[in-house]
Every structure is written in structure tokens, then in C-alpha cells.
């Protein structure tokens, strides 16, 4: 596929140099040398979600044999909220797990946020073996994920990205659809293969390569499709994560009712409020003995 750089005006929308850090953790990976870094996009007001994650799958002492770090990535609200910002800065000082940049934090700007995540990993965390982008409403089975990644080590190598792969995606042309894309913005009739943005894992070398590829891909508001478009520029195919002859998707995108032994066989399931996550996590600890 020919590479024609997008205009400077378009690239500036997603270029890391267009934005500045308000809060950063530049030394966290150098100090802790993680095997895996979990990056969770949240907004300023998602205090309850951050607390729930810190007390469940984001607890950094969860696995003694591997170093796993987590970071919350946040932009700025369209309308400033000094009180919430002050609370966030206290959180950052207490937990050291918040990165904030000055882009406007809206659903339409999730592509900007994702590219800031890729640039942060490329700049500050190349020492990690894997990065994971995961939404805050997700349940994450950390031991299952680590075991899965260890089992993939020989075959994964560089340019590895895995999750729930969508191969038959196409743009929604209905203006009332949440995922509407105009023909002007995206003239093609289908999307290349991409991983669902709810949760995906990638070798950290890909972060810098995706950042580079963004120079050739016009921004669109669908962040997971946008990453897929960058992967197409790179000639990288995402890997579908399954067990047992492709019968079970390990990165679950359907809404699943909580059942301890069902969740024990998944890496992620999404769609949970903070209080639900805390309840599930408390019960899920028993899965080691019962499933």
C-alpha cells in the first residue's frame, strides 16, 4: 500500500507534539521494569472506577512472579473543574499511576487519547514486554492473561497484537448512529481487520510503529478502527485470542452475566460498573479452588 503522508494540519490533531503533560510518570517503567503495563483510559470524573481498579485487577502486588504496572490516562474536560482537578493531583501524588495531557477528553477524541497512549509507551516504557489498553468498565483475569502471554512467547515476537479481532467491519453511514462515519471522512466501504478497543494486548515495539504509521492515516473518531488502519500501513495482522479450536473468545465483547467458572476461562469481560467489579472480584478469588 502506498504511503502518502497526511497534511500537517490533520497530523497535528493526533501528533504528541500538539499536547503537553499536566501530570506524568516518566520514570515508572525504568524503576519497576514491568513485564506488562496496563493502560486504562478514563476521564477526570471517573474517581470511583479508578478506586475499584486499584482494589481489584489493577492491584500491583497481585502477582508475585511478574511485574505488572497500571496507568490511568486522562485528558481535560471541555469545561474546567478545579475541584476535581485538585483531587486528581492528590491521587497522582498518592498512587503515582496517573498521566494527564491537555487534549479535550471526549468520546470523539478517543483516537487522540489512544495515540497519546502509544506515544507514552514508545517514549517511557519500551522496557516492558507487553502493553495492554483496557477500558475501565472491564473485568481482567490477570493470571489467565499472564499465563496466556507466556504460552505465546515463542510465536508472538515483534509486531504482536491480540484481542477480539473484527474482520468484517464496515462504516456506519446513518448520521444518527453512534459510530457514524461520513463518506468524506472515510470513503472506503469496509475496515481492515482491527481489535476491539475494549481490551487488547500488544508487544511494546508496536507502540512506536503505530505512532509512526499515524503520519499516513487520516484521523477518524473510531479509535480501534484507527489502530487497525495504522496496522494496515505497517503490514501487521492482529491475532485473534482463542482457546479450543477457536470456539471461545478470550477477550469477550458480549455482555456476560457473572459466573465464577465462566469468567475463569476468559481474559477480559467488559460492561461493569465499579461496584459490580468489586463484588465480582471478591467472589472471583474463590475460582482458584472451585473451577
Rounded Cα distance between 213 and 288, Å, is 42
Q: Would you state the pLDDT for residue 242?
A: 67
Q: Do the domain assignments include residue 2?
A: no
Could you list the residue range(s) of the whole structural domain that residue 17 is in?
8-290
Q: Do the domain assignments include residue 1?
A: no
Domain total in the chain: 1
Q: Do the domain assignments include residue 40?
A: yes
Rounded Cα distance between 126 and 217, Å, is 23
Q: Is 84 helix (H, G, I), strand (E, B) or coil?
A: helix
Q: Do the domain assignments include residue 149?
A: yes
Q: Would you state the pLDDT for residue 60?
A: 81
Q: 79 Cβ partners below 8 Å, 6+ apart? A: none
CATH number, domain containing residue 245:
3.90.550.50
* 64 has pLDDT over 90: no
Residue 5 pLDDT level (bands cut at 50, 70, 90): very high
Residue 245 pLDDT level (bands cut at 50, 70, 90): very low
Residue 244 pLDDT level (bands cut at 50, 70, 90): low
* 61 has pLDDT over 90: no
C-alpha cell at position 21: 503533560
* 154 has pLDDT over 80: no
Looking at residues 69-77, what average pLDDT do you find?
Answer: 97
Cα–Cα distances in Å, from 186 out to 46, 180, 210, 233? 32, 10, 19, 16
Q: Do the domain assignments include residue 131?
A: yes
Q: Would you state the pLDDT for residue 243?
A: 63
Residue 12 pLDDT level (bands cut at 50, 70, 90): very high
Q: Do the domain assignments include residue 3?
A: no
The overall average pLDDT reported for the chain is 94
Taking only the tens place, the pLDDT of each residue in 21-57 is: 999 999 999 999 999 999 999 999 999 999 999 999 9
* 287 has pLDDT over 80: yes
Q: Would you state the pLDDT for residue 264?
A: 94
Amino acid at each position: 500500500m502506498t504511503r502518502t503522508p497526511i497534511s500537517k494540519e490533520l497530523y497535528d490533531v493526533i501528533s504528541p507534539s500538539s499536547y503537553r503533560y499536566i501530570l506524568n510518570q516518566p520514570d515508572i517503567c525504568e524503576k519497576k521494569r514491568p513485564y506488562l503495563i496496563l493502560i486504562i483510559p478514563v476521564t477526570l470524573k471517573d474517581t470511583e472506577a479508578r478506586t475499584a481498579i486499584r482494589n481489584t485487577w489493577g492491584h500491583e502486588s497481585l502477582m508475585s512472579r511478574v511485574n505488572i504496572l497500571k496507568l490511568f490516562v486522562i485528558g481535560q474536560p471541555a469545561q474546567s473543574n478545579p475541584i476535581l482537578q485538585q483531587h486528581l493531583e492528590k491521587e497522582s501524588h498518592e498512587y503515582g499511576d496517573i498521566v494527564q495531557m491537555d487534549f479535550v477528553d471526549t468520546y470523539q477524541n478517543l483516537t487522540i487519547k489512544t495515540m497519546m497512549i502509544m506515544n507514552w509507551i514508545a517514549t517511557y516504557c519500551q522496557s516492558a514486554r507487553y502493553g495492554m489498553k483496557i477500558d475501565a468498565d472491564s473485568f481482567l483475569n490477570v493470571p489467565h492473561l499472564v499465563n496466556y502471554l507466556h504460552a505465546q512467547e515463542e510465536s508472538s515476537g515483534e509486531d504482536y497484537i491480540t484481542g477480539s479481532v473484527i474482520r468484517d467491519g464496515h462504516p456506519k453511514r446513518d448520521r444518527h448512529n453512534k459510530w457514524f462515519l461520513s463518506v468524506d471522512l472515510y470513503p472506503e466501504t469496509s475496515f481492515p481487520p482491527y481489535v476491539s478497543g475494549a481490551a487488547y494486548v500488544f508487544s511494546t515495539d508496536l507502540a512506536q510503529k503505530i505512532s509512526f504509521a499515524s503520519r499516513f492515516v487520516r484521523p477518524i473518531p473510531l479509535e480501534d478502527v484507527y489502530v487497525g488502519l495504522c496496522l494496515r500501513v505497517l503490514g501487521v495482522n492482529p491475532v485473534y485470542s482463542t482457546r479450543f479450536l477457536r470456539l471461545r473468545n478470550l477477550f469477550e465483547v458480549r455482555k456476560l452475566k457473572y459466573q465464577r467458572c465462566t469468567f475463569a476461562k476468559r481474559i477480559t469481560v467488559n460492561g461493569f460498573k465499579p461496584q459490580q467489579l468489586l463484588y465480582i472480584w471478591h467472589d472471583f478469588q474463590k475460582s482458584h479452588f472451585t473451577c
